[in-house]
Amino acid sequence: MGITLLGNCAERRHIFFDADAHPDVRESLAYLLPLPHLGLGVIFYTWVHALGQNGQGRAGVAGIVFGPGVDETVFEVHDHIGVPDSMSFDDWQVGPGRLTLSDDMMKSTIEFRGQRLTIDYQWTGLNPSFGFAANRNGCPDWLAWDRTEQGGHVTGTLTLDGTTHEIDGYAHRDHSWGMRDWGGPTHWKWWNILTDGGTAIHAMELQYRGKTTLHGYVQKDDVIATIVEMDSDITFDERFMHTRVEARIVDDEGRVTEVTARQGADLQWPVSPRLWIHEAAMHTTVDGVEGVGYIECAWPPEYVAHHRTDGIGIGERSDLTLDRD
């Protein structure tokens, strides 16, 4: 029962410079801050590719804000920055972004100093870091060699277009390393839900190579356990964006958790020519308790175009396309 706990220092940097590396070998960390009461979703995202130049990996960082609380989506990206192998996540500095991650994986600091966006917050883990490889269904080889997920509480500030917001809420973080083939899946659900009292849920349902696998955990009432079953019903709008979610989750402690999520802020992100990810910072209710969620669904762009009813096609790749190959 329960999850397999990771050892101390398990999330230090794994990917280093390799002149012969496959171009899809990379490592990334993302901190997802849902602020649906402000009509905002906020992403801090950083990465490093093994294949770089001059003996250094190629790193990048992005600060992203989306939703009705901002006039135009903020997407500030800095890429192709060389980083030495000696720099790890205890003090990671790339362009205008900086993060720290403690060896016990329970403390982080996040800073981003962009043109329109400044982020400065402290992140404290709510649950142990969950590693895919050591748990039920493992980690698919096209997704990563391994990845981890963890819910946290954040305090700090967000300054957007000159307006500063005090933050005292929740944010999820993920960390993956190894191969990333954006064309590997036909669909995924990547859902992260957090409420007062220490409840934290991560669920990832993957559809690929003719099968479906389920990964993740439920932490509530001070007990964390692996998800074994998830049924969901999703409402989509004319853009094929999810606006309401109802889910029933069963874990290996035999507990049933009821989740609903409703619209807050969303983003259609053409992260690759092979895959679009639809992001949503949502209001949630877990077993009757209010919270927040970062609810993501991924689809091939042709599938999105087929189901859209607003008359708008999928368009060409844009500045939002991080994987341009």
Q: For each of the chain's 325 residues, which pLDDT tens digit applies? A: 679 999 999 999 999 999 999 999 999 999 999 999 999 999 999 999 999 999 999 999 999 999 999 999 999 999 999 999 999 999 999 999 999 999 999 999 999 999 999 999 999 999 999 999 999 999 999 999 999 999 999 999 999 999 999 999 999 999 999 999 999 999 999 999 999 999 999 999 999 999 999 999 999 999 999 999 999 999 999 999 999 999 999 999 999 999 999 999 999 999 999 999 999 999 999 999 999 999 999 999 999 999 999 988 765 444 555 554 4
- The Cα–Cα gap between 77 and 318 comes to 12
Which pTM does this prediction carry? 0.95
Residue 286 in contact with residue 295, Cβ under 8 Å? no
* Other CB atoms within 10 A of residue 107 CB: 14
- The Cα–Cα gap between 259 and 249 comes to 8
- The Cα–Cα gap between 118 and 66 comes to 14
pLDDT of residue 324: 46
pLDDT of residue 277: 97
Helix H or strand E segment including 305: helix 301-307
Strands (DSSP E) contained in the chain are: 25-35, 40-53, 56-66, 74-83, 92-94, 97-101, 107-113, 117-125, 130-131, 146-160, 163-179, 187-195, 200-208, 211-220, 223-236, 242-251, 256-272, 275-286, 289-299
Rg (alpha carbons) of the chain, rounded to whole number = 18
Q: Is 159 in a helix, a strand, or coil?
A: strand
pLDDT of residue 317: 45
DSSP 316: -
Q: Is 5 in a helix, a strand, or coil?
A: strand
207: tokens are 């559809």
Per the listing, tokens 């341009």 go with 324
- Please report how many Cα atoms fall inside a 13 Å half-sphere around the Cα of residue 324, on the Cβ side: 7
Phi and psi at residue 171, in whole multiples of 5°?
-150, 145
pLDDT of residue 97: 98
Residue 188 Cα distances to 42, 69, 210, 248, 296, angstroms: 21, 27, 13, 17, 8
pLDDT of residue 2: 78
Residue 42 in contact with residue 61, Cβ under 8 Å? no
Helix H or strand E segment including 306: helix 301-307
- Among 302, 251, 315, 250, smallest CA distance to 275 is for 302
Amino acid at 215: H
90: tokens are 């205890």
- The Cα–Cα gap between 202 and 281 comes to 14
